[in-house]
Structure 1
């Protein structure tokens, strides 16, 4: 979705799977319409939906029943309980509303015929009527208005954090996207009114981020939608504040200056829910990558970016996967790259895989027959956005639903566009409890606390039915086994040889190209952030180069597994670092560079597949490969020693290639 022209002009588009190829558009929404005021319930006791509360019931009795009585509460749901000895009432309500006519019955211990009833009282529970459908917050196996149920438990484990009153207070998030409808009922109170930007006007780009489509509004809802206002659902960090940037639109040239500018400002977190379709690496925006490095290492900025939604592609009878490493931004070790999970705990069908992923979060499927999407805010009224009168969805929530009569919400948001703001929201919660966390510390905590899912996904995953099992892909070529004799197309979960991680093998970190370090766990991450004091020391790096090479890369032979060994070269790292990330800058000449696969093995013996054979470069028919590939698979390992590069040709036939040079950069401390 990112198109680079020679004049440094980019056409970035957002990463929601709902609009696989989304064109830039002109503004379609008027942000001047006033939002509705929240209609809050008022009762004797105030509570919040799904948040535990307690109070003493003794004050509701006319008589003194503080001793000599046992107690029972009447006219209340099973989620509310009373201590029979003290009359302490505790529990929670799963739905919002005003619950009246509740009373407590006291029975004399000495004479159980003496029964006293308290005065009736009411409990006002303010919440969010669509929260029960937000499987990314609390997955109970609900459909979220799709035709397929999810599997309970695959969520970000947020409710306990909210129970503690942690909501992301004091944290500022920049939503660089297609604009945001900031007067949305569920967003208005959490906007940073004077900090929005409009890149369709001149510098300093100050102006309303009038949206060109639903995308930015849906993203903002996932980070910062207001909680407990009896509207819609809530954001992951409902106490955080956001500014919307109109950056992905007609009239925005996305010059190098604008790209750098939208990565600056008084914000804690920058959310980039966009990806690309390109299969080339552009070196002309190195100043942008330098800016990311400076702001993460010297300031407190955190950059969170979508891995992309192009995992499976078909063209001319060819099926191939796109790598999350391919866009120039995603190679930066100063970006947190996010993959998407569906409601069954598997990689979302579209989510790009890659060795540069850090974590995974819920992104859903199509919201219809493949499984639930993500519920969030949409453009208001039924004339625009995903939820509208013209919606062709079979999802009955999108139009004329009793809980969505004004079409202000959608249950069709998906993609790594959705998983990315969910991660941004969790980071906001971490920042609330520990404002000293810098990006590298946050990444470290996420690597330690994220949850391994889908533990056996590699078993037969890349066999003969891999592509044909995915939606919309069919044909003889797509039924091919992706593995070669003597070569696996992709690995499963790999535990590395670190000594400080959560794994079983002397503390290794467990990593996969599908999920990074796993599904983000808000409760575990926030708990670790509260007491975290072992801040990472200054980052160091070492770069070594092969110089000019002329190493031929043998074609794969279908009759032998010999050539699956490819071409091997080595480089030595002398610095003794705790590895944080590794980058390979590689140049290959080849008539069809999409046939190439690249692997790297550490001195400790851990192998990372940086680029799969027979990848999406096949579609562009590029003749040469000149790219930086980043891997997080070696996190925590010692850097010193010999690193082994392997380049593999995944096809038989007339094309052959040459490895002409490569560099190895290790970042760590």
Structure 2
């Protein structure tokens, strides 16, 4: 025991001596000091960025002490503050989670982003270097994809100066010319509103660019070797439908004045990020072209362009859309055809493994006029009132739900000057005006300056050159005229427009939706579009007509503006459910959990001649706000997806004009409205529309004495409502006015005389499309 105690004593003494030697004479121990080291940061290089597509990675920052780092970004010496984790720079946007970043280049520029990290009052700085961004030189002019307020080669300085000289040649002084033009240019530039676009960047940011889906362009042709289309054109799958075609797989047009289909194809799927031209809405989608328009087609054409067997399209091919930027127009209502309905229904009911390929249809360009009607819609006041001159329902293929009808909007989100309105419109999409005073579309054109809308032989270029001279035309169409530095080969155009542009823009969005979720059915896609499209022009005003005279006069709302139906969907005859929103639609597609169940189509229900019975004799009183009411009671309870109405309406005066060269107003005076059991109202026919000739049937020819004969109208305004209950249809004659014409149109009419006899409802029927109402909890 004593020996052990001695050892412990010696050990204690040794420890004390050791501590004394290290810490002075104090007998107390001192804690070891931990030194805080500053964080470190290093440059990060992004060398494979694509414009508008996220580039992801991790910032190279470390704090060796393990302290939490705070990250700050700056631009031009100014701190950039995050909004919900998103930093917005002049060139792009960056999202940050911890040190994980996702950067989207909006400008396409190579940039250096300053960042710093800090912890415990100490910091370090470095850069996020975007060394190169893959893009396309015309992308920043494609306002429909991302609207920054750009003019897309419209309202150019060259155009302004050319017009000054023109005005001076008419007798204006230079000061007068500049004052007038400056006022107009300023007004037009005020309509270039940033943000009014389809939000395709929102879709790309989710990694969706159209890869894996096929778009079929049914049109005048498609230049399959175009530099910006060829990478997406599926080899040997396109069809040349001309009877004498030497190469059946090549629908490249032979016209040199511009090819409609080539420009349409570019809007859907011009290749992206290849350093050429611009890009399509779905820049990684595949393309098939079919030259449907024109004379001399093979007998099977109508079936082939709908994907029937023999078209080369298998039922399992992932065909998302058939784009149909065409239609027939004449100032009449074309009779409905059950055969046409069956043909139109084939791709949506059978293709893509039974999930369906959608028919995307241009609504038409007849809002302001119908060329064969001459000055009719100016003379009868439709233009001044803001009512559509023709109706999307005049064309039979837009009378069924198997066509998705698309209207057009401008850079400010408002209706274009030409886009046909109607209750059958489903959505709208950008298209623009004519590319001079307001932007149109920048898209693909026939290759070289020897053919196409741009180049020496372009239809507009050639005609204007003959009329005004080369120098003036060059000033008015600087991008399309040979020699522009951004279009040296004339392979692109800046003046493509019409609902022919709106349809492929919507088709591109549908391609993105199906690429995001290939399991969606065609009805699911419609539901997504109805649910996510943007309500543009929210202050759009109603148009009201006064019907009758004196004490019996009353108002009729011919255009309602925006309505909200009982299911909560907002609808407008100008815009459908609104402008397509790619980002929102793709997000919904990815998370889609709606079960629409099996489609249910009710039988036609009605009375009179349209049901094969004796004709009704119900008169529609002239210039009477009460009109004629007819009521249906539907007993089947469906959640509506669309609804059809069929009419036979006659008037003995509805012929091809009188010996005196006048025509009756019976057709243009007719208006039709429908009220659902839920109280929602839809205007099928607003009146003052160009029904100046008897109804026409492709099966039976002219239908004298009929305003409508087997005339079908589709309404989407009741989407989501219940079908069950009482439906009220009201037919009115809205005017007793006669008027002269400035231009008599195709029939050379000198005027229109109020109908002497009342129009007669001879038959009426209703048919609903939808699905069984889901009971809560099932």
TM-score by length of 1: 0.79
Which residue in the other structure is 2:541 paired with?
458
Structure 1's 648 and 53: CA in aligned 2 closer, same or farther, altered over 3 A?
same
Contact residue 275 and residue 309 of structure 1 kept, 8 A: no
After superposition, the C-alpha distances for 1:177-236 in whole angstroms (9 at most, x for unaligned) are 011111111111000112101110379993201124321011101111111111111111
Alpha-carbon distance in structure 2 between the residues aligned to 1:491 and 1:69: 54
Corresponding residue to 2:447 among 380, 385, 400: 380
After superposition, the C-alpha distances for 1:540-570 in whole angstroms (9 at most, x for unaligned) are 12221112310111110xxxxxx11211111
Corresponding residue to 1:573 among 634, 641, 649: 634
Which residue in the other structure is 1:290 paired with?
342
Which residue in the other structure is 1:436 paired with?
519
SS of the residue corresponding to residue 131 of structure 2 reads: strand
Contact residue 544 and residue 556 of structure 2 kept, 8 A: no
Contact residue 46 and residue 55 of structure 2 kept, 8 A: no
Structure 1's 284 and 201: CA in aligned 2 closer, same or farther, altered over 3 A?
farther
Taking the TM superposition and a 5 Å limit, the aligned residue runs for 1:204-283 are 206-211=248-253, 212=255, 213-252=258-297, 257-264=300-307, 265-266=313-314, 267-280=319-332, 282=334
Which residue in the other structure is 1:318 paired with?
376
Contact residue 407 and residue 419 of structure 2 kept, 8 A: yes
After superposition, the C-alpha distances for 1:307-334 in whole angstroms (9 at most, x for unaligned) are 0101121645521510001111111111
Structure 1 gap ranges (5+) = 1-42, 465-483, 499-507, 557-562
1:195 correspondence with 2:237: yes
Which residue in the other structure is 1:364 paired with?
432
Post-superposition shift, 1:164? 2.4
Alpha-carbon distance in structure 1 between the residues aligned to 2:758 and 2:230: 58
Alpha-carbon distance in structure 1 between the residues aligned to 2:96 and 2:622: 78
Structure 1's 97 and 661: CA in aligned 2 closer, same or farther, altered over 3 A?
same
- Which stretch of structure 1 is more off in the superposition, 533-542 or 176-185? 533-542
SS of the residue corresponding to residue 414 of structure 2 reads: coil
Structure 1's 568 and 380: CA in aligned 2 closer, same or farther, altered over 3 A?
same
Taking the TM superposition and a 5 Å limit, the aligned residue runs for 1:139-218 are 139-147=147-155, 148-149=188-189, 150-201=192-243, 206-211=248-253, 212=255, 213-218=258-263
Give RMSD over aligned pairs: 3.4
Contact residue 378 and residue 410 of structure 1 kept, 8 A: yes
Structure 1's 203 and 230: CA in aligned 2 closer, same or farther, altered over 3 A?
closer
Which residue in the other structure is 1:659 paired with?
761
Which residue in the other structure is 1:646 paired with?
730
Q: Number of residues paired by the alignment?
A: 583
Contact residue 332 and residue 694 of structure 2 kept, 8 A: no
Alpha-carbon distance in structure 2 between the residues aligned to 1:455 and 1:85: 36
Corresponding residue to 1:635 among 700, 704, 719: 719
Contact residue 334 and residue 394 of structure 2 kept, 8 A: no
After superposition, the C-alpha distances for 1:106-138 in whole angstroms (9 at most, x for unaligned) are 9999999x99989x9771211011111111111
Contact residue 310 and residue 352 of structure 1 kept, 8 A: yes
Alpha-carbon distance in structure 2 between the residues aligned to 1:204 and 1:668: 46
SS of the residue corresponding to residue 517 of structure 1 reads: coil
SS of the residue corresponding to residue 268 of structure 1 reads: strand
Contact residue 337 and residue 356 of structure 1 kept, 8 A: yes
Corresponding residue to 1:132 among 140, 144, 148: 140
After superposition, the C-alpha distances for 1:344-403 in whole angstroms (9 at most, x for unaligned) are 11111100000001100101111112x211111111111222212352461322122211
Which residue in the other structure is 1:611 paired with?
685
Structure 1's 521 and 618: CA in aligned 2 closer, same or farther, altered over 3 A?
same
Alpha-carbon distance in structure 2 between the residues aligned to 1:513 and 1:103: 47
Post-superposition shift, 1:614? 2.2
Contact residue 71 and residue 85 of structure 1 kept, 8 A: no
1:589 correspondence with 2:654: no
SS of the residue corresponding to residue 91 of structure 1 reads: strand
Which residue in the other structure is 1:471 paired with?
none
After superposition, the C-alpha distances for 1:512-544 in whole angstroms (9 at most, x for unaligned) are 111111111111111111121323111112221
SS of the residue corresponding to residue 398 of structure 1 reads: coil
Which residue in the other structure is 1:398 paired with?
480
Alpha-carbon distance in structure 2 between the residues aligned to 1:357 and 1:74: 45
Which residue in the other structure is 2:661 paired with?
none
Contact residue 669 and residue 735 of structure 2 kept, 8 A: yes
Structure 1's 71 and 517: CA in aligned 2 closer, same or farther, altered over 3 A?
closer
SS of the residue corresponding to residue 448 of structure 1 reads: helix
Post-superposition shift, 1:497? 1.4
Alpha-carbon distance in structure 1 between the residues aligned to 2:607 and 2:504: 39
Is the radius of gyration larger for structure 1 or structure 2? 2
Q: Which has the higher helix share?
A: 2
Taking the TM superposition and a 5 Å limit, the aligned residue runs for 1:460-539 are 485-498=554-567, 508-539=568-599
Alpha-carbon distance in structure 1 between the residues aligned to 2:541 and 2:97: 55
Structure 2 gap ranges (5+) = 1-44, 78-88, 156-187, 308-312, 383-388, 465-472, 547-552, 609-614, 654-665, 696-703, 737-753, 772-778
